[in-house]
Amino acid sequence: MPRDSSVNRRSFLKAAGGAAAAATLAGCAADPDETTSGSDGGAGDGGSNATDGGDGSDGGSGGDVLTYARGNDSGTLDPQNTTSGEDVKVTNQLYDQLIMFKPGETSLRKGLATDWSLDGTTTTLTLREGVTFHNGEEFTAADVVATYNRFVNPDYEHYPGDDYTSAYGPFTLGNWIEEVTTDGEYKVTMQMTQKYAPFLRNLAMFAASILSKKAIEEKGTDLKSEPVGTGPFQFEGWDTSNQRIRLSANDDYWGDAPQVGEVVFTAVAQNSTRAQTLDSGGADIIDGIGAQASKVVSNSSNAELVEKAGINVGYMAFNMAKVEEFQDKKVRQAISYAIDTKAIVDTIYKGIAEQASQPIPSNVMGYNDDLSPYGQDLDKAQSLLEEAGYGDGFSFELATFKNPRAYNPSPIQAAQTVKSNLQEVGIEVSINQQSFNPFLDYTSAGKHDACFLGWMTDNADPDNFFYALLHPGISTDDVPDGQDYVGFDTEDFNTLNVAAWANTDYMTLVEDAQTTYDEATRKEKYNQAAQLAHDEAPWVFIDHAKELRGVANGVEGFTLAPISGPFLNLVSLN
Amino acid sequence: MVSKRFFLKRLLLLVPVLFGVATLVFAILHLSPGDPAKVIAGQRATAEQVAAVRTELGLNDPIWVQYGRYLFDIVTLNLGDSYIVRKGVPVLTILRARLPVTLELALYGQLLGILFGIPLGVLSAVKQDTITDHLTRVGALTGISVPIYWSGPLLILLFAQFLGLLPASGRIASAYDVPVYTGLITLDSLVYALSGGGFGAFQSAISHMLLPAAVIGVYSMALISRMMRSSMLEVVRQDYMRTARAKGQGAKITIMKHGFRNATIPVITVIGIQFGTLLGGAVLTETVFGIGGIGTLLVNAIEVGDYPLVQGTVLVFAFLFTLVNLGVDLTYSYLDPRIEQ
C-alpha cells in the first residue's frame, strides 16, 4: 500500500486523540445561558459547613441551605409563561402578588396591596410603599400596569407573543379586566367587564405575580431564565445539568424574611428514590409522594410525613351528549350506586384520598355538609336500571389516562374496579387507556362515552369547580327545552365540562353565585348547586386527594399549603 | 493500517443512517396521537389560543412541508426550541448541558467494567473449571441478568438508607455550587478544589458517582469478563503458547506477554460496542438515581410531548452510537488489517 494513501498507526492514534479532545471541548463547554451560576464565590457558607461535617452524606442538616426535592426540574421561571405546578413552586419564592393566600389556608391576606375593595365592576387597590424588586427598582403602580399589559395585551410594546404567555392570562385577568388605570404611584383601579366574585382570588394566583416594569422592558422573554420579583428569595443560578435552581434570601423582604441563607430546588424523578433521599439526609423537604413513597417517609426516623386535605376532585364523567343511556338520571344514579368508590379510595388509592360526595372538597367555601358519598348498593342500582328500562344492561367505553395524577394515583386499577363493579349490574365496560395529553384531546372533543378526570384548583374559589367543570359556558336560553345537556359542537361550549351537562337550574345558581359579592348568599347558592350536582349525578364523585410532603426532622416552621406556597421563607433549619 | 478510502467510506455511511433515524423519529412523533399546541397551551386554554399556538409553530402546514423544514433545520444544525421541558430554549443548548452528565456516567461505568472485568476474565480462563472459574462465571451471568431498575433501588436501600454511607440521588450535595467548566462534575469539582475551593465538593461528587457507576459498571464488567475468558481460552491453546512454554518460559510471563495481548483484540471490540449499550443503560440509571442526563431528559420530553426535544435527543443519541461504532470498526481494522476489505 503506497504510503500517501494510508494512515499509519501513530498518526491514526494522534488524529483520534485530537478528535476526541475536540469533541469533548465542543460538546461539554459550559454555555453561559444554560448554566448561569452565582458569581459570588461558589459554595459560600453552606459549602464550608458541609465540608466541615465531612460525613460523606449531603448537606442540609447543619448548613443553612434548604433543599427542596421534587419530581421534575422547572421549565421556566416566568409566572406568565407557565401552567405547570412544578414551575410555580419556584416562582412563588421569587414573586409576590397584590393579594396573597394565608400560608396553609384558603383565605386572603395583604400582599403588595395593603388595602382593596371590590365594588360592582370596579376594583381599587392601595399598594404597599417601600417595596423594592430584586433589581433595586422601587415597586409602584406602573409595575402593576406593565405586568397586566405584558400578560394579556397583544398591542403592548413588550407583549411576548401568544405562544409565550400562558392560558392563565385571559383565564385569570384578561377575560375580566377591561382596563387598568393608576392614580398616583400607589393607587390602582381595575375596571372589570362584569361583576365577578372570584376576582380577588384570581389576583392572589401565581399567574398574577407582579413583575418589574424595568425588567419587562429590559429582559423581555429572558425573564424565563432571569427572574426579577419582589419575593422572599432572589435568583442565584440555574444549573440544568444538575437540575438545580439556587435562590438566596432577600434580606430586604417586606414580609417575613427568610430564615435560611439559600434554597435549592432539585429534581429526583422517581418517587421512591426521592423519599430515600429525604431519609438519608439528601433533602429537607420533598413532595410528589405516592402510596409507596409515603411508606418510606413514615417509616423513616429522620423525617416525618405531613398531610393535609388538598383542594382537588377526581371523578368519572358521563358524556350525556354522546351516550343516550346516560341522558337518564336514573342510569347515572344507578352507576353511582354500583361503583364501590370507598374501595377505590381505601384500597387502590391506599388512603391518600377521601371519598367525594360533591364537586368541591370540604375546605372550599360552599361545601354542603349534608351530603354523603353514594355508598355501594347493588340492589338499588339494579332496580334504578330496571326503572329506566335498562334492566338487561348496556355497554360503554371508559376512557382514562394511564399515568398517575394527584387526584387519581392508580387510574388503570380504578378503571378495572369500575368495570368489575358494573359487570355485576349487567353493564359492560371497555377500558380505553391513553397518555394524558392525547387523552385530553379526546375528552375535550367529546369522543368519550365516559371518562376519568379531575381538577386541581387555581384559586380555591368554588366557582373554579362549579362553573369551570360543570357549566357548559353558554347562556341558559341556548339550552334546548326539556334537555339537560348540550353537544360538544355548541358554540362557545366549555370543553372542560366533559359530561356535557347543561342543567338550567344549576347554571342559574352558579351564574348568580359568580356575580354575588355577599359571602353568605354565595355560600347558600353553592350549597344548593352541590346538592343538585349530587342528585343529578353528571359525574360519579370519586375522591379528593390529600396533599403529602416529607419533611426532615431538622426542619421547623413548615406549613403545608394546598394552594400557593411552599412558604419557604417561614422555614428554618436546626 | 487504515486506508483513507475505508475511513471515508465509513464516514459517508453515517449520512444515510442518520437520515433514516431522523425520518423515523419524525414519523413516529407525527403519527402518534396528541396535539403539541394543546400541550403547550394547557388544559385551561380556549380553542382560539390553541389555534394561535398551532399557527405560530407552523403545525397547520402540510406534513411534507413540516418534514422538509425539519430536514433543512437539521442539516443547518438547528434542532429548534424546546416546547415545554425548557420553554423556548434551543434544544442544542439543553443537550450541551445534559450530554456530559450521561457521558460521565457511562465513562465511569465503562472504567469499572474494564478494571474488574478483564482481570476476572483472565483469572477465570487460567483457572478453568476450578471453583474460582465457576464463581466468576455465575457472578458474570448474574450481573448480566439483574435489571438496573431492581439493582439500583436495592443499592440505594443498602448504602444510603441502612448504612448511611453514600448519598441516594443526584450528582453533588446541594450545598456546593461548583462552577461548570466541562459539565463532568468530578472533573469540575476537582478543578474547583485545585483552584482553592476545597476538596469537599470533589469528595461529594465522587461519593455520588459510586453507586450509579457501579450499577451500570456491573453489566459491562460481566460482559467483558465473559468475553475475556473465552478469548483467553482460545489463545492459550495456540501453538505459540505451547512453544513458549516448551522454551521453559514461566507460566506468568507466557500468559501475560503472549496470551493476554492477543486475547484482548476481540475484547476491545466488545468494549467499544458495549459503550453504546452503556449509554442506553445510563437512561435507566439516571432515572433511578435522580440524575439529569439526556436519559431523564428524553423520558421527560416524551411524557409531556416536547417534539423538538425528543427529535433532538434521539438524533444526538443515534449520532453518538454510530460514531462509537465507527470508532470500533476503525480500531478493529487497525488491529486486524484483514477486516478492512
Domain shared by B177 and B69, yes or no: no
pLDDT of residue A20 exceeding 80: no
**Residue B116: inside a domain, yes or no?**
yes
Domain shared by B125 and B260, yes or no: yes
Domain shared by B97 and B244, yes or no: yes
What is the residue-averaged pLDDT of chain A?
88
Domain shared by B130 and B24, yes or no: no
Distance from CA of B72 to the nearest CA of A (A): 22
Spatial distance between the Cα atoms of A81 and A100, rounded to a whole number of angstroms: 20
Q: Using CB atoms, pick whichever of B33, B168, B176 lies closest to residue A438.
A: B33
Q: Which three three-digit cell numbers place residue A208?
A: 398574577
Spatial distance between the Cα atoms of A173 and A168, rounded to a whole number of angstroms: 8
Mean pLDDT of A230-239: 96
Q: Are B82 and B39 in contact (CB under 8 A)?
A: no
Q: Which three three-digit cell numbers place residue A500?
A: 356535557
Taking a contact as any Cβ pair under 8 Å apart, which residues of chain B between 242 and 261 contact chain A? none
Contact B175 A60 (CB under 8 A): yes
Taking the Cβ of residue B309 and every Cβ of chain A, the question of whether any pair is shorter than 8 Å is answered with no
Taking only the tens of pLDDT, chain B with its 341 residues reads 567 787 888 888 888 888 998 899 888 888 877 777 877 777 777 777 788 888 888 888 888 998 998 899 888 888 888 888 888 899 999 999 999 999 999 899 999 999 999 999 988 888 888 998 899 888 888 888 888 888 899 999 999 989 989 999 999 998 898 888 888 999 999 999 999 888 999 999 999 999 999 998 888 888 899 889 999 888 888 888 888 888 887 777 777 777 787 788 788 878 877 777 777 777 789 989 999 898 889 988 888 888 889 989 988 888 888 888 888 777 777 766 666 54
Q: Tell me, what's the pLDDT at A39? A: 34
Chain A with chain B: Cβ pairs closer than 8 A: 280
pLDDT of residue A91 exceeding 80: yes
**Residue A351: inside a domain, yes or no?**
yes
Domain shared by B50 and B112, yes or no: no
* Whole-number CA gyration radius for chain A: 27
Query: Chain B residues with CB inside 8 Å of A162's CB?
Result: 49, 52-53, 56
**Residue B210: inside a domain, yes or no?**
yes
Q: Using CB atoms, pick whichever of B53, B103, B288 lies closest to residue A163.
A: B53
CA atoms within 13 A on the CB side of A147: 26
Domain shared by B155 and B275, yes or no: yes
**Residue B265: inside a domain, yes or no?**
yes
The model's confidence at residue A28, banded by pLDDT at 50, 70 and 90, is: very low
- The residue whose grid cell reads 360543570 is A470
Contact A56 B207 (CB under 8 A): yes
**Residue A252: inside a domain, yes or no?**
no
Spatial distance between the Cα atoms of A111 and A564, rounded to a whole number of angstroms: 13
**Residue A389: inside a domain, yes or no?**
yes
For A320-339, the pLDDT digits (tens) are 999 999 999 999 999 999 99
Taking a contact as any Cβ pair under 8 Å apart, which residues of chain B between 277 and 306 contact chain A? 286-290, 292, 296, 299-300, 303-305
Mean pLDDT of A147-158: 95
Which conformational region is residue A471 in: left (phi greater than 0), alpha (psi within -120 to 50 degrees), or beta?
Answer: beta
Which conformational region is residue B266 in: left (phi greater than 0), alpha (psi within -120 to 50 degrees), or beta?
Answer: alpha
Q: Tell me, what's the pLDDT at A281? A: 92
Query: Chain B residues with CB inside 8 Å of A24's CB?
Result: 182
User: Which is more confident, A75 or A7?
Assistant: A75
Contact B184 A28 (CB under 8 A): yes
For A242-286, the pLDDT digits (tens) are 999 999 999 999 999 999 999 999 999 888 999 999 999 999 999
For A57-75, the pLDDT digits (tens) are 333 333 489 999 998 899 9
For A275-314, the pLDDT digits (tens) are 999 999 999 999 988 878 888 999 999 999 999 999 999 9
Query: Chain A residues with CB inside 8 Å of B33's CB?
Result: 434, 438, 441-442
**Residue A506: inside a domain, yes or no?**
yes
The model's confidence at residue A532, banded by pLDDT at 50, 70 and 90, is: very high
Q: What are phi and psi of B228, to 5 degrees?
A: -60, -40
Domain shared by B170 and B53, yes or no: no
Domain shared by B70 and B101, yes or no: no
Q: Concatenated DSSP letters for B26-62?
A: HHHHHHSS--HHHHHH-TT--HHHHHHHHHHHTTTS-
Q: Model-level pTM?
A: 0.85
Domain shared by B228 and B280, yes or no: yes
**Residue B8: inside a domain, yes or no?**
no
Spatial distance between the Cα atoms of A407 and A413, rounded to a whole number of angstroms: 14
Hey, is A464 helix, strand or coil? helix
User: What is the count of structural domains for chain A?
Assistant: 1
Spatial distance between the Cα atoms of A502 and A507, rounded to a whole number of angstroms: 7
pLDDT of residue A16 exceeding 70: no
Contact B34 A266 (CB under 8 A): no
**CATH number assigned to the domain comprising residue B279:** 1.10.3720.10
ipTM of the complex: 0.87
The domain boundary residue, chosen from B244, B261, B290:
B290
User: What is the count of structural domains for chain B?
Assistant: 2
The domain boundary residue, chosen from B28, B45, B75:
B75
**Residue A436: inside a domain, yes or no?**
yes
Q: Concatenated DSSP letters for A320-366?
A: TTT-GGGGSHHHHHHHHHHS-HHHIIIIISTTSEEE-SSSS-TTSTT
Mean pLDDT of A152-161: 93
pLDDT of residue A3 exceeding 80: no
Please give the residue range of the domain that contains residue A442: 312-547
Q: Are B34 and A434 in contact (CB under 8 A)?
A: no
Q: Tell me, what's the pLDDT at B302? A: 84
**Residue B321: inside a domain, yes or no?**
no
Give the list of residues 6+ apart from residue A541 with CB closer than 8 angstroms, or none: A313, A315, A336, A341, A355, A356, A357, A358, A359, A373, A374, A534
**Residue B334: inside a domain, yes or no?**
no
Q: What percent of chain A has pLDDT over 90?
A: 76
Interface probe, candidates A12, A241, A262, A279, chain B, greatest B C-beta count within 10 A? A241
Spatial distance between the Cα atoms of A112 and A99, rounded to a whole number of angstroms: 7
Spatial distance between the Cα atoms of B106 and A309, rounded to a whole number of angstroms: 43
The model's confidence at residue A31, banded by pLDDT at 50, 70 and 90, is: very low
Q: Tell me, what's the pLDDT at B339? A: 62
Q: Tell me, what's the pLDDT at B7? A: 80
Domain shared by B69 and B103, yes or no: no
Domain shared by B167 and B46, yes or no: no
Mean pLDDT of A173-179: 90
pLDDT of residue A127 exceeding 90: yes
**Residue A18: inside a domain, yes or no?**
no
Q: What percent of chain A has pLDDT over 70?
A: 89
Q: Are A315 and A496 in contact (CB under 8 A)?
A: no
**CATH number assigned to the domain comprising residue A515:** 3.10.105.10
The model's confidence at residue A133, banded by pLDDT at 50, 70 and 90, is: very high
**Residue B261: inside a domain, yes or no?**
yes
The model's confidence at residue A380, banded by pLDDT at 50, 70 and 90, is: very high
Please give the residue range of the domain that contains residue B70: 17-75
**Residue A404: inside a domain, yes or no?**
yes
Contact A438 B57 (CB under 8 A): no
Query: Chain A residues with CB inside 8 Å of B164's CB?
Result: 57, 280-281
Domain shared by B22 and B160, yes or no: no
- The residue whose grid cell reads 429534581 is A267
How far apart, in Å, are the Cα atoms of A498 and each of A13, A78, A315, A417, B4? 65, 30, 11, 21, 65
